[in-house]
Chains A and B, each alone.
Chain A
Amino acid sequence: MKCAEVIQDIAAAILREKLVDGVLAFAQGVDMSDIVPILITDEQDARKILIASYQPCSLAKLASEYGGESKKLAVIVRPCDARAMVELAKRKQLDLQNIYSIGIECYGVAREPQGEIYIFPEEMLVDGEVKHLNKEILSPSCLRCEYPIPTMADVSCRIEKDGNCLVAANTERGESVLSAAKITAQEKVKDISPIKERALKRQEKEFGEIKGMEPRERLNYWLRQFDKCIKCYGCRNSCPICYCEDCYLEPERLLVQKEEYPPEMLFHITRLIHIGDSCVNCGQCETACPMNIPVSKLFHMMSKELGVLFKYEAGLDVDSLPPMSTITEEDLAKGGVGLG
Chain B
Amino acid sequence: MVEFIPTICPYCGAGCSLLLEVTDGVVVGTRPRLGHPISQGKLCIKGWNAHEFIHHEDRLKKPMIKENSSFKEVSWPEAIKFMAERLGEIKNKNGPDSLAFLSSAKCTNEENYLLQKFARAVIGTNNVDHCARLCHASTVVGLARAFGSGAMTNSIADIAETECIFIIGSDTMSQHPLVARMIIMAKEKGAKIILADPRTIQVSKFADLHLRHKPGSDVALINGMMKYILDKGMEDKDFISKRTEDFDSLKEALQDVSLREVEKITGVPVEEIEKAAALYAKAKTSSIIYAMGITQHTTGTDNVLSCANLAMLTGNIGKPGTGVNPLRGQNNVQGACDMGALPNVFPGYQAVTDEGVRGKLVEVWGVAKLPPMPGLTVVEMLNSVLEGKIKAMYIMGENPMISDPDISHVEEALNSLDLLVVQDIFPTETARLADVVLPAASYAEKEGTYTGTDRRVQLSRKAIEPLGESKPDWEIICELAREMKAEDFSFTSPEEIFEEIRKVTPQYAGINYSRLNQPAGLQWPCPEESHQGTSILHGKEFTRGKGKFHPIVYKEQAETPDDEFPFILTTGRVMSQFHTRSMTGRSPKLDTEFPEGF
Residues of A within 8 A of B (CB): 22, 29-31, 33-39, 41, 54, 56-57, 66, 112-113, 227-228, 230-234, 237-238, 250-252, 258-259, 261-262, 287-292
- Residues of A contacting B2 with CB < 8 Å? 22, 39, 66
Describe B's contact surface by its main secondary structure: mixed
Q: Cβ of A30 and Cβ of B519 under 8 Å apart?
A: yes
Q: Cβ of B48 and Cβ of A233 under 8 Å apart?
A: yes
Cα A291 to Cα B180 in complex, Å, equals 8
Q: Cβ of B34 and Cβ of A261 under 8 Å apart?
A: no
A29, A251, A290 — most chain B CB neighbours (10 Å): A290
Cα A38 to Cα B19 in complex, Å, equals 12
**Quick one: which of B41, B45, B593 contacts A287, CB cutoff 8 A?**
B41
**Can you list 17 A-B pairs, Cβ within 8 angstroms, ordered by A?**
A29-B33, A30-B518, A30-B519, A31-B517, A34-B33, A36-B33, A56-B32, A56-B33, A56-B35, A112-B40, A227-B202, A227-B205, A232-B47, A234-B32, A258-B594, A259-B594, A259-B596
Contacts A33-B518, A56-B41 hold; do A290 and B35 have CB atoms under 8 A apart? no
Cα A163 to Cα B418 in complex, Å, equals 72
Which candidate, B62-70, B142-150, B181-189, is the interface stretch facing chain A?
Answer: B181-189
Contacts A29-B6, A34-B33, A41-B1 hold; do A233 and B592 have CB atoms under 8 A apart? no
Which candidate, B170-178, B304-312, B354-362, is the interface stretch facing chain A?
Answer: B170-178
**Quick one: which of B44, B595, B596 contacts A290, CB cutoff 8 A?**
B44
- Residues of B contacting A227 with CB < 8 Å? 202, 205-206
**Quick one: which of B4, B34, B184 contacts A54, CB cutoff 8 A?**
B34
Given contacts A30-B519, A31-B518, A41-B1, list 10 more A-B pairs with CB under 8 A: A22-B2, A36-B19, A38-B4, A56-B33, A56-B41, A112-B40, A230-B177, A230-B202, A250-B589, A288-B41
A35, A57, A250 — most chain B CB neighbours (10 Å): A57
Minimum CB–CB distance from B114 to chain A (whole Å) comes to: 25
**Quick one: which of A56, A232, A233, A258 contacts B34, CB cutoff 8 A?**
A56
Q: Cβ of B173 and Cβ of A113 under 8 Å apart?
A: no
Cα A119 to Cα B418 in complex, Å, equals 65
Residues of B within 8 A of A (CB): 1-2, 4, 6, 19, 31-36, 40-45, 47-48, 173-174, 177-178, 180-181, 184-185, 188, 202, 205-206, 517-519, 574-575, 589, 592-596
**Quick one: which of A34, A35, A54, A57 contacts B32, CB cutoff 8 A?**
A57
Closest B-chain residue to A250, C-beta based? B592
Q: Cβ of A36 and Cβ of B519 under 8 Å apart?
A: no
Cα A230 to Cα B47 in complex, Å, equals 12
Cα A57 to Cα B184 in complex, Å, equals 24
- Residues of B contacting A237 with CB < 8 Å? 48
Contacts A37-B4, A290-B181 hold; do A261 and B202 have CB atoms under 8 A apart? yes
Q: Cβ of A232 and Cβ of B35 under 8 Å apart?
A: no
Minimum CB–CB distance from A323 to chain B (whole Å) comes to: 30
Cα A259 to Cα B573 in complex, Å, equals 12
Minimum CB–CB distance from A203 to chain B (whole Å) comes to: 22
Closest A-chain residue to B173, C-beta based? A230
Cα A36 to Cα B47 in complex, Å, equals 17
Contacts A33-B519, A261-B202 hold; do A232 and B43 have CB atoms under 8 A apart? yes
Q: Cβ of A34 and Cβ of B45 under 8 Å apart?
A: no
- Residues of B contacting A261 with CB < 8 Å? 173-174, 202, 575
Cα A238 to Cα B4 in complex, Å, equals 16
Minimum CB–CB distance from B593 to chain A (whole Å) comes to: 5
- Residues of B contacting A233 with CB < 8 Å? 45, 48
Q: Cβ of B177 and Cβ of A232 under 8 Å apart?
A: yes
- Residues of A contacting B42 with CB < 8 Å? 232, 234, 287-290
- Residues of B contacting A33 with CB < 8 Å? 35, 518-519
**Quick one: which of B518, B575, B596 contacts A230, CB cutoff 8 A?**
B575
Q: Cβ of A34 and Cβ of B31 under 8 Å apart?
A: no
Cα A318 to Cα B174 in complex, Å, equals 42
Closest A-chain residue to B5, C-beta based? A36
Closest A-chain residue to B591, C-beta based? A251
Q: Cβ of A234 and Cβ of B594 under 8 Å apart?
A: no
- Residues of A contacting B43 with CB < 8 Å? 232, 234, 288, 290
Minimum CB–CB distance from A131 to chain B (whole Å) comes to: 23
Cα A13 to Cα B539 in complex, Å, equals 56
Minimum CB–CB distance from B584 to chain A (whole Å) comes to: 14
Contacts A39-B2, A287-B34 hold; do A34 and B177 have CB atoms under 8 A apart? no
Q: Cβ of B45 and Cβ of A291 under 8 Å apart?
A: no
Closest B-chain residue to A228, C-beta based? B184
Q: Cβ of B32 and Cβ of A29 under 8 Å apart?
A: no
Cα A36 to Cα B246 in complex, Å, equals 52
Q: Cβ of A34 and Cβ of B6 under 8 Å apart?
A: yes
Closest B-chain residue to A261, C-beta based? B202
Cα A66 to Cα B1 in complex, Å, equals 10
**Quick one: which of A57, A66, A231 contacts B31, CB cutoff 8 A?**
A57
Q: Cβ of B4 and Cβ of A230 under 8 Å apart?
A: no
- Residues of B contacting A38 with CB < 8 Å? 4
A-B residue pairs, 6 tightest by C-beta: A34-B35, A290-B42, A39-B2, A56-B34, A290-B181, A34-B519
Cα A233 to Cα B589 in complex, Å, equals 11
